[in-house]
């Protein structure tokens, strides 16, 4: 008894009450829902095949967030619905947030923050000291979130994004001062 919550595979799960948000490692069965959230979130989305290939990489952290739905009318327990995900690459003592998204109906509830905090904690555990990511210059909500998590702009990638064409801001976070 006691201890941290774990999946049937023995992996840690983050449980956030009262929202009933569960964060766990991605499984192949999650990919269809992830691809749908991706298409709803980005004008130049990753494909199902790209997510499938990413899931097979060993130097990657791929986490999903599930939200507990309301109990059924018969009083039974509610179901879990996948509402977000984060993909982070591990490259020695550096990491990169390659993708993060939350379903449109679940945004502005702190889910992306919780996903990022969890993946940063996992990256620290495997020796990552510096974390990078790119963000559209016009994405003020994401930029505010990243700034609140300690990311700072260190560069610009001109014309990085397509559909529409836009610069990416390169952000960096030192994970040694958590």
The catalytic position among 85, 132, 146, 161 is 146
pLDDT tier for residue 117 given thresholds of 50, 70 and 90: very high
* Mean pLDDT (the chain, rounded): 86
Q: Which residue has the higher pLDDT, 75 or 90?
A: 90
Active-site residue 132, yes or no? no
pTM for this predicted structure: 0.83
Long-range CB contacts for residues 78-84, cutoff 8 Å, separation at least 24: 78/20, 80/22, 82/30, 82/33, 82/34, 82/37, 83/21, 83/37, 83/111, 84/37, 84/111, 84/112, 84/115
pLDDT at 18 over 50: no
Strand order, beta sheet including 94-102 = 14-16, 21-25, 60-68, 80-91, 94-102, 130-136, 166-174, 152-161
Active-site residue 146, yes or no? yes
The catalytic position among 19, 134, 137, 166 is 134
């Amino acid at each position: 008894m006691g201890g941290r919550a774990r999946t049937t595979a023995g992996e840690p799960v983050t449980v956030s009450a009262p929202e009933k948000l569960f964060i766990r490692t991605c499984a192949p069965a999650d990919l269809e829902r992830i691809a749908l959230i991706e298409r709803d979130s980005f004008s130049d989305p990753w494909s199902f095949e790209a997510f499938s290939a990413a899931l097979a990489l060993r130097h990657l952290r791929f986490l999903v967030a599930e939200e507990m739905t309301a109990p059924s009318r018969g009083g039974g327990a509610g179901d879990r619905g996948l509402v977000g995900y984060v993909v982070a690459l591990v490259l020695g003592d550096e990491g990169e947030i390659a993708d993060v998204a939350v379903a449109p109906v679940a945004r502005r509830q702190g889910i992306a923050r919780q996903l990022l905090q969890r993946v940063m904690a996992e990256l620290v555990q495997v020796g990552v000291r510096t974390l990078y990511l790119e963000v559209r210059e016009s994405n003020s909500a994401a930029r505010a979130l990243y700034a609140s998590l300690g990311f700072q702009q260190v560069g610009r990638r001109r014309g990085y994004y397509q559909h529409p064409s836009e610069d990416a801001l390169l952000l960096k976070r030192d994970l040694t001062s958590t």
